[in-house]
Amino acid sequence: RTMSSASDAPNTGGFQTVTIFGSGLMGSGIAQVVAAAGLKVNLIDTQPASLERAQKSITSSVQRVAKRQHAENPEAVASAVSDIMSRIHMSTEPDAAIREADLIIEAIAENLPAKLSLFQKADQLARPDAVFVSNTSSLSIAEMSQATSASRRAHFAGLHFFNPVPVMGLVEVIHTADTEPATLDRLRTLCKAIGKRPVSCRDTPGFIVNRLLVPYLFEAVRMLERGDASVPDIDASMKLGAGHPMGPFQLADYVGLDTIKFVVDGWSAKYPDVELFRPSELLNSLVAAGHLGVKTNQGFYSYENGQLVKGS
C-alpha cells in the first residue's frame, strides 16, 4: 500500500519546488502558472528591478485570472492572489534555490554562453536527481546539456512555453538523445497539472510551433516587401480568412521584432541553404531603428502604453 496522505493532491510529476531563472515575460508567466498549481517557486534574477517588475506583472495577471474564476467575489479574488503570491519567492541569490530545487527552469535571455554557465554552475549545486529544463525557443537543448555532467543529461530537456503563458494552453517538451523517458513522463505530468497540453518534439530548430510560425511571419514580411498587399489587409486576411486571433504583423509586434530576428539570424547562419530561414531587410531595418514592436510602442503598428493606436 502506498501512503494515502497526499492522494488528494494533484499529481505534479513528483515536483514540489521549482526554481526559475529569469524574471522576464516568460519566467514570470511560468512562475505564475506553476505557483497557481500549488508548487513552491523560487524566481531568480540578477536584476532587482526585473524582480520588482515581475512582482507587479504577476500580481496583475493573477488578478485577471482570478477575476474570471470568481467574477462577483472580490474576497475570493484577493485570497487567490495572496495564496499564489505567497508561493513565489523572489531572489537575486541563486545558491539555496538551486540546492532545494526538484526542477530548474532556465528562462533567461537567448544567449548561449550565459545559459551554459548557468547550467554548469547549477549542475554542481543541485541535487543529483534534480531535472533541468530550458525554455529556449531557438537554441539547441543538446548543446546546452553539454554544460552538465553525463548523469544530469538523462534529466535534461526542453520545456517551451508560449506568450502569454497564463492563457496559452501548450507546452512543448523537447528531448535529446540523452533524455530519459521517465524524466519526460514526469514533465508531461507537470504540464497537465498546470493546465497545459504537453506535446513531444525532437531537439530541432524551432521545435513545432516556431518552426511553422516564424517562417510564416517572415513570409508575411516578404509579401509586404514585394508590394503584394498591405499590413492591415494581410492581418485581416489571416484573422478573418484563417481564424487566427492575430494577423502576422500584429503577432510579430507582440512577440517582438528583435526576438524573431534573433531566431532567423541563428537559423540562417546554421542552415544557409534553407529558403524559409532567410532574413528580411525590412525587418532588419525596423530593429536597427529600435522599432521592436509593442514593447517600444512602435513596430509594424504604433502603440501607446502597449495598446494599438487605431489606424496606425
Least distance (Å) between residue 96 CB and ligand 3HC: 29
Asked if 167 touches ligand 3HC (CB under 6 A), the answer is yes
Residue nearest to ligand 3HC (CB): 137
Interface residue with ligand 3HC among 36, 41, 51, 65 (CB under 6 A) is 65
Residue 158 marked as a ligand binder: no
Whether 57 is a known active-site residue: answer: no
Asked if 164 touches ligand 3HC (CB under 6 A), the answer is yes
Q: At what angle do helices 25-36 and 74-86 cross, to 10 degrees?
A: 110
Whether 210 is a known active-site residue: answer: yes
Whether 305 is a known active-site residue: answer: no
Residue 73 marked as a ligand binder: no
Least distance (Å) between residue 93 CB and ligand 3HC: 28
Give 30 or 126: the residue with its C-beta nearer to ligand 3HC. Answer: 30
Name the catalytic one among 42, 61, 137, 140: 137
d(CA 167, CA 156): 26
Span from 1-9, 60-68, 139-147, 225-233 in contact with ligand 3HC (CB under 6 A): 60-68
Whether 72 is a known active-site residue: answer: no
Asked if 168 touches ligand 3HC (CB under 6 A), the answer is yes
Give 178 or 235: the residue with its C-beta nearer to ligand 3HC. Answer: 235
Asked if 245 touches ligand 3HC (CB under 6 A), the answer is yes
One-character DSSP codes across the chain: ----TTTTSPP-TT--EEEEE--SHHHHHHHHHHHHTT-EEEEE-S-HHHHHHHHHHHHHHHHHHHHHHSTT-HHHHHHHHHHHHHTEEEES--HHHHHT-SEEEE-S-S-HHHHHHHHHHHHHHS-TT-EEEE--SSS-HHHHHTTS-HHHHTTEEEEE--SSTTT--EEEEEE-TT--HHHHHHHHHHHHHTT-EEEEEES-TTTTHHHHHHHHHHHHHHHHHTTSS-HHHHHHHHHHTT--SS-HHHHHHHH-HHHHHHHHHHHHHH-TT-GGG---HHHHHHHHTT--BGGGTBSSSBEETTEEPTT-
Count of residues in contact with ligand 3HC, rule CB under 6 A: 18
Give 66 or 142: the residue with its C-beta nearer to ligand 3HC. Answer: 66
Asked if 255 touches ligand 3HC (CB under 6 A), the answer is yes
Least distance (Å) between residue 68 CB and ligand 3HC: 4
Q: Using CB under 6 A as the criterion, which residues of the chain lie in contact with ligand 3HC when the complex forms?
A: 61, 64-65, 68, 137, 162-164, 166-168, 210, 213, 245-246, 251, 255, 259
